[in-house]
Structure 1
Amino acid sequence: MNPVVINERFAVCGQIRPKDIADIARAGYAAIINNRPDGEVFLQPSAAAISAATQGAAMESVNIPIAGPDITEAKVRMLQKVLAESRGPVLAFCRSGSRSLILWAIGEVFDGRMRKKDLVPFGNARGFDLSRAVGWLTENGY
């Protein structure tokens, strides 16, 4: 697990395991967002297992699964709500961190903090392809 820090309140990473939670808490994260649907791959830890591990570390755990074209404005707003209400930094994960960053980036465009045309270069600078976010925004009239 190697989080990519997006800003002082948000970071993304690939799949985490329950045994990683103590290290994540020690790194200062107050909440985890799981953007990976259960059963996506064999032997992937379940959302319930991740959530149970966060309880022992006094962290919040939120499940906002995204599969394929599953992005909705409601899911973007759920991620934003967790960020706004968290008592500290939030770590979101999926298989690679890409879906987590896509949700965040769409929210940034919704709220006028980023322009759609800046998403791909922003993602590239952090090792992610945000063209899916641009496509989603375009298809949905943004």
Structure 2
Amino acid sequence: MNLALLVENLYVSNQLQSEEDVQKLADVGVKYLMCNRPDGEEAAQASFEQVTAWAHAHGIETTHLPVVMNQMNMEDVSQFAQWFAQHEGDVKGVYCRTGTRSSLLWALSQVDLGKVNAIEAITTVAQSGRNISGAAMMLQQLEPHTKEA
């Protein structure tokens, strides 16, 4: 498991594969967990249902927002932002295959809300070991939107 603190109270991880992975999340205080990966993306991945069973055994609430990277849209970003805001102040975790998709959802949501700019989002994600620089144009396009709001 490649677990990293993305920002205060938000951990990002690659695919959770065991109850021990979920235990590590519980150990750092995660109370809310979001999966951004569709079931069956890879043959050996643990299903969302299985991860939910492990999570509930450790007192962690789960949410499934499956996103295919090249089909991600602003509705996905909005749903992520709502979940993130709903649990503000609580320790949260997000995961997908590598953690990049989940990190990108965070970045897009925060730039769209005007909380960070594109460069800050890319830099923050890079510090957690993920690379979303390929989405720089998409992130930058959201910046004027936030300044008008």
TM-score category, normalised to shorter length: 0.7 to 0.9
Q: How does 1:36-51 map to 2 (within 5 A)?
A: 36-51=37-52
- How much has 1:131 moved relative to structure 2? 2.4
**Normalising to structure 1: TM-score of the pair?**
0.86
SS at match of 2:70: coil
SS of equivalent to 1:69: helix
**Deviations for 1:5-54, whole angstroms, at most 9, x for unmatched residues?**
12222111111124122332122000111011111111110111111222
Given that 1:105 and 1:133 are in contact with CA atoms closer than 8 Å, whether structure 2 keeps it comes out as no
Using the TM superposition, name which of 63-72 and 90-99 deviates more: 63-72
In structure 2, C-alpha distance between the alignment counterparts of 1:28 and 1:92, rounded to whole Å: 13
In angstroms, what is the RMSD of aligned CA positions?
2.1
* C-alpha contact 2:32 2:61 (8 A) present in aligned 1: yes
AA partner of residue 94 (structure 1):
C
Q: Which runs of 5+ in 1 are unaligned?
A: none
Query: Aligned residue for 1:106?
Result: 108
Q: Which runs of 5+ in 2 are unaligned?
A: none
CA distance in 1, matches of 2:45, 2:141: 31
Letter in 1 for 2:83: V
Residue aligning to 2:94? 92
* Number of the residue aligned with 1:125: 127
Point out 4+ residue stretches in structure 1 off by more than 4 angstroms.
138-142
